[in-house]
Amino acid sequence: MSSWNMEDERAILDSIDVWVEKEVRPIAKRFDHADEYPHDLVEQMKALGLFGATISQDYGGLGLSAGTYAKIVIRVASAWMAPTGIFNSHLIMATAIERFGTDKQKNEYLPRMARGEFRGGIGLTEPNAGTDLQAIRTQAQRDGDHYVVNGAKTWITNSGQGDGLLLLVKTDPQAQPRHKGMSLFIAEKAEGFIVAKKMEKLGYKAIDTCELTFDNYRVPAENLLGGEEGKGFAQIAGGLELGRINVAARGCGIAQGALELALRYAQERSTFGKPICEHQAIQLKLAEMATQVAAAKLLIEQAAIKYDAGERCDLEAAMAKYFGSEAGVFCANEAMRIFGGYSYSTEYEIERYYRDAMLMCIGEGTNEVLRTIIAKQLIARNPA
């Protein structure tokens, strides 16, 4: 249950603004270039309650609405997108546990997750299966009061520095349809849960995204999410709505940050005797960027209102994620042009926005697939 009002929201967002300007923005360039994990930021996130942002107050979280949470994410991502990944997939895991977990699972994990003592992520993607998740090969076989997991995962954020994952596996590889053989486990790190390699990335630096191997990893049967096999695919689909609102907010934050940088630079840089912001070609870019940022915020709000009301919001979340992430790419690209040659200098911040933006079009469902979800929902909601 949440007990926040508008004034509380304002106070929370103000404290995030202060933190972003004091702690996040000043270190972004250095940690991004060094690809170094920001341990101090993690401790600060714990103190701010970010690891429990959307976990209900019953379990020690802040119990924020998706709308307030999205505003937090936009603010952080406008300075540096990568740290939002530290609490985003952690909160998707927490959301799935809160929605689908047994009472024991909720009581055991959610308070620790809210405090940031147990930091998680989501382990879905495999070398052969990203969009087509039903093609995963990692298997969990029952053995007494445990399951034995074998297989591999790739591109798993928070898996190096975190304590465990919500792990998608096949408990019945022969099941038809395939999703009926899929289950989720709360998988704590233990023997056989092997972090094989930290991946080298174009952007989204400083945050650990890893390849994992599961070699006879034993997970207690009581960690099967909800206690029933075959529900994993539906459970993860439910959790992704919040994830998509979050990615929309990350894309929107990148767009807003790129706009802010470009707006300032366009007033400082002069050519032909006047600031470049007075050239119409630059004005058209700034106007288009600002309009996309504003539109992305409205789409995020529309999705968040439905999510917070407990209504189905796959269409709205998909629209917000699609538009917000494309706005991030568009604004980062346009800002690069406005910065001219200096955009290519690693002395400036804008190149980071350019490198970080594209990921938002890929994660939590690629924008190609999201548009098919939007279309299918349109047709389903508007039968001829």
Please identify, among the stretches 52-60, 67-75, 119-127, 328-336, the one whose residues bind ligand FAD according to the rule CB under 6 A: 119-127
Which residues fall within 8 angstroms of residue 339, CB to CB, at 6 or more apart?
261, 262, 265, 348, 350
CB-based burial label for 230 (10 Å; 0-12, 13-18, 19+): middle
Please identify, among the stretches 74-82, 287-295, 302-310, 365-373, the one whose residues bind ligand FAD according to the rule CB under 6 A: 365-373
- Site of tokens 């980062």: 332
Q: What would the two tokens of residue 34 be?
A: 């060094």
Q: Single out the residue of 111, 172, 362, 377 in contact with ligand FAD (rule: CB under 6 A).
A: 362
Which residues fall within 8 angstroms of residue 284, CB to CB, at 6 or more apart?
none
Which residues fall within 8 angstroms of residue 23, CB to CB, at 6 or more apart?
40, 41, 44
Three-state DSSP class for 377? helix
| Spatial distance between the Cα atoms of 159 and 209, rounded to a whole number of angstroms | 7
Q: Single out the residue of 33, 368, 379, 380 in contact with ligand FAD (rule: CB under 6 A).
A: 368
Please identify, among the stretches 22-30, 75-83, 251-259, 363-371, the one whose residues bind ligand FAD according to the rule CB under 6 A: 363-371
Beta strand 270-271 with 274-275: parallel, antiparallel or unpaired? antiparallel
Residue 121 touching ligand FAD (CB under 6 A): yes
Residue 38 touching ligand FAD (CB under 6 A): no
Residues 142-161 that bind ligand FAD (CB under 6 A): 155-157
Q: Which phi and psi (to 5°) does residue 140 adopt?
A: -125, 120
Q: Single out the residue of 56, 65, 68, 89 in contact with ligand FAD (rule: CB under 6 A).
A: 89
Q: Single out the residue of 24, 82, 124, 331 in contact with ligand FAD (rule: CB under 6 A).
A: 124
Strands, E assignment, 72-117: none
Question: What is the contact mask toward ligand FAD in residues 41 to 60, using x (rule: CB under 6 A)?
Answer: --------------------
Instruction: Tell me, by CB under 6 A, how many residues bind ligand FAD.
Output: 21
Q: Which is nearer to ligand FAD, 65 or 125 (CB)?
A: 125
Catalytic machinery residues: 364
Please identify, among the stretches 117-125, 244-252, 270-278, 347-355, the one whose residues bind ligand FAD according to the rule CB under 6 A: 117-125
Residues 192-221 that bind ligand FAD (CB under 6 A): 201, 204, 209
Q: How far is the CB of 187 from ligand FAD (least distance, A)?
A: 13
Q: How far is the CB of 258 from ligand FAD (least distance, A)?
A: 19
In terms of Cα–Cα distance, which of 61, 85, 58 is closest to 12? Answer: 61
DSSP for 339-365 reads HGGGGG-TTSSHHHHHHHHGGGGTTTS
Which residues would be at the binding site for ligand FAD (CB under 6 A)? 89, 121-125, 130-131, 155-157, 201, 204, 209, 359, 362-363, 366, 368-369, 372
